[in-house]
Chains A and B, each alone.
Chain A
């Protein structure tokens, strides 16, 4: 804990970003994105590979171009990275280890963006 300097001169709390709130919501959204992607992935694989769904495969010529959209994979990889690292941060918290909320937020978001960006570059053949 940092030492309190009282009385304070001023605060601007209502102007800044609520790091914890944004991180918490992103954690939930990223979890939902992962579950949704796995669900859709299973359905798409079934359409591609199960003979019983051949009619569905023929009726969906847009499926292959959709699968090749790199931004979808970038979002997925961002979600996986963010969910993993923020979850690890929470686990470390349960062990009493403190990481400053602002440092943790920007570090995790930065690493997750890099992971997502890597997918874009991979699709671009770079």
Chain B
């Protein structure tokens, strides 16, 4: 049985249209020890602070919209177990729209820039195409990326260098493995800053979908070293 606990949450409040800088407001919440961070945020919104801006959709770890930083670590709010003391902030390095909501325009623009649909030599004929079952399973798993940007927010290379981020490298690798795709994804990955990755695997540790963007980058690098992969333009 879940037991009652008192939680103390410091939430970053910031409205760029009226505030000069972000500030932290502290809220005391009476909750249960099995609450997720999102439950705490919802409780604050419903009982103490009706103008708190936050975002979520599915509450089941599938939509990837509720990403926040808890005590400096990017997590999915709907999946992360609450802690007695929490500092809740929006994901970095994205511009804040308000409070815990970040502007994902740049993220969407980058996805669009990379053209993450198979680029075919001949038009799609329609109907199912033959694919090895093992490859299909692997592609399906890679396609389960939530685009939550938790990995991008946690990546130290994104913070220090010109690097798009692990999530984009994973999607590019997904396309590079797709049998119908003929684009030069390795070149795109290099242009996206793939060589700036530190290889620290923090993205793998943080990924809420148990994917490994770092492995996707390693495979790209292996292709670069040994000349593998598709080299078309």
> Which A residues have a C-beta under 8 Å from some C-beta of B?
1-8, 10-16, 18-21, 23-24, 89-90, 93-98, 101
Given contacts A1-B141, A6-B144, contact A94 B79 (CB under 8 A): no
Q: Which 6 A-B pairs have the closest CB atoms?
A: A96-B222, A20-B200, A101-B201, A20-B202, A7-B60, A14-B73
Tell me the B54-85 residues at the A interface (CB within 8 Å): 60-62, 70-76, 79-81, 83
A18's partner among B60, B73, B219 (CB-CB below 8 A) is B73
Count residues of chain B with CB under 8 A from any CB of chain A: 45
Question: B62 contacts A7, CB within 8 Å?
Answer: yes
A residues in contact with B210, CB < 8 Å:
1-5
A1's partner among B61, B156, B212, B225 (CB-CB below 8 A) is B212
- How long is the Cα–Cα vector from A115 to B144 in the complex, in angstroms? 43
0/1 interface trace, chain B 193-227, chain A, CB 8 Å (1 if under)? 00000111110111011111011001101110110
A11's partner among B79, B142, B156 (CB-CB below 8 A) is B79
- How long is the Cα–Cα vector from A15 to B205 in the complex, in angstroms? 12
Look across to chain B and name the residue whose beta carbon is closest to the beta carbon of A9: B79
- How long is the Cα–Cα vector from A79 to B42 in the complex, in angstroms? 47
Given contacts A14-B73, A14-B80, A96-B219, contact A8 B200 (CB under 8 A): no
Interface residue? B178 (CB, 8 A): no
Interface residue? B36 (CB, 8 A): yes
- How long is the Cα–Cα vector from A102 to B144 in the complex, in angstroms? 23
Given contacts A10-B36, A14-B71, contact A90 B209 (CB under 8 A): no
- How long is the Cα–Cα vector from A98 to B80 in the complex, in angstroms? 27
